[in-house]
Amino acid sequence: MQRRVLVATSNAGKLRDFGGAAAPYGITIASIPNFSSLPQVVEDGSTFEENACKKAKAYSLAVPGELVLADDSGLEIDALGGAPGVHSARYAADEPHAAECNTEDEANNARVLRELASVAAEKRTARFVCVLAVARGGETLQTFRGTAEGVLLDVPRGENGFGYDPLFYFPQIGKTFAELSAEEKARYSHRGAAFRAFLEWCRTT
């Protein structure tokens, strides 16, 4: 039986990533209907887990009875003390912790490149982190965490990704995340790892 999971995002890249990974499990991925018209949840948590749970619980109230998946993800750069972290999507703002909306991917990438300009290539280690929370009726049912370790390039590469994907080089396969197909990204990415854990949970609940 086909099962549907609604994702609390309007990001076409995320929906594509999730959809590619869910198809073999017989699970259909869709955005929450009229998602853009729903009141926006303020992501003011200090951890990825807090933000993911806050979003999943709030948005699940808009679609009673449905499983709702929300994620919070970001880039942790060792040379920057773990920044941008939970502020990854707003990093180009003057005060990322206080910004009310996301900043453009290109601007976020540009800030990272500026801050890493004097950092040697071997010290540009970083990881993508993703935490998924699944909720129904305003209650969190479970959370799932995935990571991917890599290094940051000084020039973007690839056209397929979003966010910091063009800078994030994955040594295991010799490509940036923006050079991966949807299937490859589902296999190797932080979001793919967290989502596979969610799919296994789905299969047993």
* Catalytic site residue from 17, 44, 71, 72: 72
| Residue appearing with tokens 């709702």 | 68
pLDDT at 161: 83
How far is C-alpha 25 from the chain's CA centre?
21
Residue 164 near residue 130 (C-beta atoms within 8 A): no
Q: Which two tokens stand for residue 168?
A: 């994030």
pLDDT at 192: 86
> Within 10 A of 39 (CB to CB), how many other CB atoms are there?
8
pLDDT at 2: 59
Domain boundaries, the chain: 3-204
Q: Give the C-alpha separation, 131 to 146, whole Å.
A: 7
CATH assignment of 3-204, among 3.20.20.100, 1.10.3720.10, 3.40.50.10800, 3.90.950.10: 3.90.950.10
Q: Give the C-alpha separation, 57 to 8, whole Å.
A: 10
pLDDT at 43: 87
78 assigned to active site: no
pTM of this prediction? 0.88
- Distance between first and last Cα of the chain: 14
Across the 205 residues of the chain, what is the mean pLDDT of every consecutive 10-residue run?
84 81 86 92 92 97 95 96 95 84 92 97 96 97 97 95 94 94 85 91 84
